[in-house]
């Protein structure tokens, strides 16, 4: 039965126990690229949902002790988002489904995060250890707190180890070199990246208390490898995108 959210606290209560939580919200305008609701009305409020630190991973592994198959974590997250939306009277924009939403642009509008030198959004508390998983769209304009005003921690980071520690030199000024990253991870020299996750991410001094545990880092790195290889296969004409 569909309910209705009156505040961000209502959304938090729906997500309790999943490790997912409200990552920010805003009232969209035409320039934000937010799709209309199913009945054609414009969305009045966009609430971003995501995770930070290892809490979501712990909840996922409690529910899915032996993750297997295609995209088990995405499927688990999406199921929780669907249940939350049903109970809150919202519609969902999934971050991992086509058409890809401009989730980073929405996150910057919601506030509290900044662009890091390696392209990942950085949070002053969580560092690089956070993800936006999707958005809940509401017809009404919910009352929202003012967007937090925070300083970009990267601006005061003199050494910027995230830019120098990558053994594949995958973080280029113009773009992230996916092939270089994955090629290194799959090589004998890439065992550290494969076993614990991105070394550039782990080198950041911000938010280390929220760093993912090693098996979570390995899981996400394996997912990156699979995704890049799927993209390459589709580009070569060796697979239907719906099958990858």
Q: pLDDT confidence of 227, banded at 50, 70, 90?
A: confident
Residues 33 and 144 placed together within one structural domain of the fold: yes
Residues 133 and 200 placed together within one structural domain of the fold: no
Residue ending a domain, choose from 151, 169, 191: 151
Task: Look up residue 97 and give its two tokens.
Answer: 């489904």
Residue 2 lies in a domain: no
Full domain range(s) for residue 197: 157-237
Q: Which residue has the tokens 């594949």?
A: 168
CB 24 within 8 A of CB 48: yes
Residue 146 lies in a domain: yes
Whole-structure pTM value:
0.91
Residues 223 and 134 placed together within one structural domain of the fold: no
Residues 168 and 120 placed together within one structural domain of the fold: no
Cis? peptide before 99, omega within 30° of 0:
yes
Residue 242 lies in a domain: no
Residue 3 lies in a domain: no
What lies within 8 Å, CB to CB, of 73 at 6+ separation is: 60, 64, 67, 219, 223
- pLDDT tens-digit series, residues 196-225: 999 999 999 999 999 999 999 999 999 999
Residue ending a domain, choose from 111, 130, 151: 151
* Domain count for the chain: 2
Q: Which residue has the tokens 């053994």?
A: 167
């Amino acid at each position: 039965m569909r309910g209705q959210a009156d505040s961000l606290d209502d959304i938090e209560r729906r997500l309790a126990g999943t490790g997912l939580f409200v990552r920010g919200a805003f009232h969209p305008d035409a320039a934000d690229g937010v799709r209309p609701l199913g009945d054609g009305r414009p969305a009045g409020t966009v609430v971003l949902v995501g995770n930070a630190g290892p809490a979501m991973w712990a909840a996922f592994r409690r529910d899915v002790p032996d993750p297997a198959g295609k995209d088990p974590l995405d499927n688990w997250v999406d199921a929780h988002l669907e249940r939350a939306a049903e109970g809150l009277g919202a519609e969902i924009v999934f971050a991992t489904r086509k058409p890809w939403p401009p989730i980073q642009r929405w996150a910057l509008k919601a506030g509290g995060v900044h662009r890091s030198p390696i392209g990942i959004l950085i949070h002053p508390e969580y560092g690089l250890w956070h993800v936006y998983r999707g958005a809940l769209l509401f017809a009404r304009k919910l009352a929202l707190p003012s967007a937090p005003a925070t300083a970009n921690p990267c601006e005061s980071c003199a050494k910027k180890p995230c830019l120098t520690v990558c053994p594949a030199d995958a973080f280029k000024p113009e773009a992230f070199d996916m092939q270089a990253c994955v090629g290194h991870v799959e090589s004998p020299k890439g065992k550290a990246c494969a076993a614990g996750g991105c070394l550039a991410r782990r080198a950041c001094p911000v938010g280390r208390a929220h760093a993912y545990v090693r098996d979570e880092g390995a899981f996400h790195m394996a997912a990156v490898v699979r995704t890049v290889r799927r993209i390459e296969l589709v580009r070569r004409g060796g697979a239907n995108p719906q099958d990858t």
